[in-house]
Amino acid sequence: MNMRTPLGKVRGLGSAKDGTEHFWHQRLTAVANVPLVLIGLYLVVSLTGAPYSEVYQTLSSPLAAIFLFLFSFSVLSHMRLGMQVVIEDYVHGEFTKVLLVMFNTFFVMFTGALILYAIFKLSFGG
Amino acid sequence: MSEANPTKVAAKARPLSPHLSIYKPIPTMVASIVHRLTGVGLYFGMFLFAWWLFAAATNQAYFEWVNSLFGSLLGRIFLLAFSWALIHHMLGGIKHLVQDTGRAIEKNFTTTMAKWHFVASIVLTILLWFAAYAAR
């Protein structure tokens, strides 16, 4: 049973009703992105101009799959939050704003699905 | 001024705070705008990274076609811009994380930092590309 008073439940949540979650997740993913992006840069640079067999072999290793999953999850979360702020700052029409914030999520989900498919196929696709 | 309709009064154009174009650009302001712009650029660039991975997962012919697009002159210019945006946005992000703790916010220091931010991101991008070409 929840013993908190109605006032206590809403305190600190603000007008968006999610408190500091957006702010905190933006920072959390920002910190995670630093090492992940550095590894990602190393990975891409090391594969520039490499033949397909080498690219395939590198990307289909378990370590690459785990890295790509973490990298994508953190980066996609971060960019979804960031784009949401940009939309909320510049789009003032309520309908357009809600629509664009929705499309933002759809775009991020689609990009994520593309990456997940690629990771699965590279790892298990034979 | 004959009729005092309260709804009409509310709809009247009220003074706004000045827009960005009014101000003389100063380093910290440019750094802030560029941080946001690079973020938006990276947002769409991430889709192209996903496309590259998808190509690698699809087959050799498709991967080689996609890779040749990235390897073309236009592709290389895009990758150069993308890598700079990534490095610049990352440095800006680290700066923000430090500033979140209440450090490095003195006005002269932030101006100096904003200038060096651009120098650092450009130098690091050039170094990255040297490393990439040297590796081949």
The fold of B26-135 is 3 helical TM bundles of succinate and fumarate reductases (1.20.1300)
B132/A30 touch (CB, cutoff 8 Å), yes or no: no
Can you give the pLDDT of all 126 residues of chain A as single tens digits? 678 888 888 887 877 777 788 999 999 999 999 999 999 999 999 998 899 999 999 999 999 999 999 999 999 999 999 999 999 999 999 999 999 999 999 999 999 999 999 999 999 986
A16 within domain boundaries: no
In total, the C-beta contacts within 8 angstroms joining chain A to chain B are: 81
Chain B residues lying within 8 Å of A34, measured CB to CB: 90, 93-94
Q: Using CB atoms, which residue from B46, B56, B57 is nearest to A79?
A: B46
Q: Which residues contact B39 (CB under 8 A, 6 or more apart)?
A: A79, A82, A83, A86, B89
Distance CA A65, CA A78 (A): 20
B84-105 burial code (b ≥16 CB/10 A, e <16): bbbbbbbbbbebeeeeeeeeee
CATH number of the domain enclosing A44: 1.20.1300.10
In this structure, the number of other CB atoms found within 10 A of the CB of residue A90 comes to: 9
Specify the number of domains making up chain A.
1
Chain A residues lying within 8 Å of B97, measured CB to CB: 27, 30-31
For chain B, give every domain's residue range: 26-135
Chain A residues lying within 8 Å of B58, measured CB to CB: 121
Q: Which residues contact A60 (CB under 8 A, 6 or more apart)?
A: A122, A123
ipTM confidence score: 0.89
Q: Which domain holds residue A120?
A: 22-124
- Mean pLDDT, rounded, for B108-131: 95
